Amino acid sequence: MVEGISIDPPFRVPRPVLRQTWLELTFLHWAYPPDVVRPLLPRGLEPDLWEGRLYVGLVPFILADITLVNAPAVPWLSRFPETNVRTYVRDREGRRGVWFFSLDAARLAAVAGARLSYALPYYWAKMSVRREGERIRYTSRRRHGPDGMTAITVTPGAVIERPSPLEIFLTARWRLYAFRGGRLFRADVDHPRWPLRQARVEALEENLLAAAGLPAPSGEPLAHFSPGTSVMTGWPYRI
């Protein structure tokens, strides 16, 4: 049985390990043929489709106040830009979640910690997120690993009072998956519903999708913006 789609968290993380805030976040999504992406997924996960289409997301934002649940945040270490390349998946029990092809972050300590503890494919990058009037400009270039860069400018638009079913499908995800040593792991995530806005893409240059093994996307992306939300994340455990 496939898990339902919910705009609000369907559960609370019972024993959260990390708390953090995601700020100035842009969702860019492209539709891909499922058969193109399926070979890039690990054993135990299947594409989660919307009306027969699979979506790949490019998501830049500011990660802030990340720390252990009961510990104070360290200002410089706990706030930095991040960009992830992701798609949406189901496991063999029908649970929905996010599969990350890559995550670029501007703090080496965070990269090392996330690779070690969550088995996520983080890369250290030189990054910035800047407000320029109404526009937000994201830039990134990897310092190590396969070549990867972004230069994205968006202008947030009107508030979305009632997100469409597709907008909920693409943004409301309550677990992540990772794969290491032949084993599949999952971690649960809990946060308030996204405050979403429309967004207009002013400029877009990137090669992170190609670095992940994906063909070039076709057409303009679906674009959404959120000022952010607070997040609780559980410890990853083997499925």
Give this prediction's pTM. Answer: 0.96
The yes-or-no verdict on residue 75 having pLDDT over 80 is no
Q: Alpha-carbon Rg of the chain, whole angstroms?
A: 17
The yes-or-no verdict on residue 198 having pLDDT over 80 is yes
- What is the domain partition of the chain in residue ranges? 26-238
Query: pLDDT tens for residues 93-129?
Result: 999 999 999 999 999 988 998 999 999 999 999 999 9
Residue 108: its pLDDT value, please? 92
Q: Which amino acid is at 232?
A: M
Which fold, 26-238? Acetoacetate decarboxylase-like (2.40.400)
Q: Which of 6-10, 51-55, 64-68 has the lowest mean pLDDT?
A: 64-68
pLDDT tier at 76, thresholds 50, 70, 90? low
C-alpha to C-alpha distances, 168 to 2, 34, 112, 122, 146, nearest whole angstrom: 16, 20, 31, 26, 32
Query: Measured in Å, how far apart are the chain's first and last C-alpha atoms?
Result: 17
Hey, what are 234's tokens? 């559980």
Residue 68: its pLDDT value, please? 84
* Residue keyed to tokens 């092809």: 101
